Amino acid sequence: MLNQGSETLRELLRILVRNLGILEKSDASCCGVTISQCHALVEIGRAKKISLIDLAELLELDKSTMSRTINNLVDAEIVKRETDPENRRYISIQLTDKGTEVFKSIEDNMFAYYTSIFRSIPEDKRNQVLESLQILVQSVKDNNCS
C-alpha cells in the first residue's frame, strides 16, 4: 500500500507540476521576465527590500545563481542593487518603479489564476485541499533537509 501510495503521489505531483508549467522554466516567461526572475521579483516585492544572501536562501539558490538573476533584472531596470557603505559585502535589492509595475502585474495575474482554480474545487473540499497542501509542503521541506 505504501509503495502504491507513493507512486500515486509521484504521478499526481508530476501532472500538477506539468499543468502549472513549472517544468518549462527555461522557455517560460511571466509578465515579460523568466520564471526564475518572476520568483525573485515576487519575493523582493513582498519584502520591499531584501539582501542578496537572504533572497538566495529564501529561493534555495546559491549566491552566484541569484547574483546572475539580479544582474539581469538590474540591466532591465526592474530592480536596483545597493551596497551597504559600512559592509561592502552586504547588498540589498529593491524594486524600481518599473519593477513595482511588473510585480503588481505578476501578483494580479497569479491572484486571478489561482482564484479560478480555487473556485473550481468543490466548496466543501477547499479546506481539505489547503490542509493537504500544507502537509505536503512541510513533508517536502523535512525530506530536503535530511
Give tens-digit pLDDT for 90-132.
889 999 999 999 999 989 888 888 899 999 999 999 999 999 9
93 - beta bridge partners? 50, 81
pLDDT, tens only, 67-83: 999 999 999 999 999 98
pLDDT at 26: 42
CA distance 59 to 55: 6
Residue ranges of domains in the chain, CATH in brackets: 24-144 (1.10.10.10)
pTM of the model: 0.79
C-beta pairs of 133-142 under 8 Å, 24+ apart in sequence: none
Alpha-helical segments (H) within the chain: 2-20, 35-47, 52-58, 63-75, 97-120, 126-144
Residues 6 or more apart whose CB falls under 8 angstroms from that of 109 comprise: 30, 31
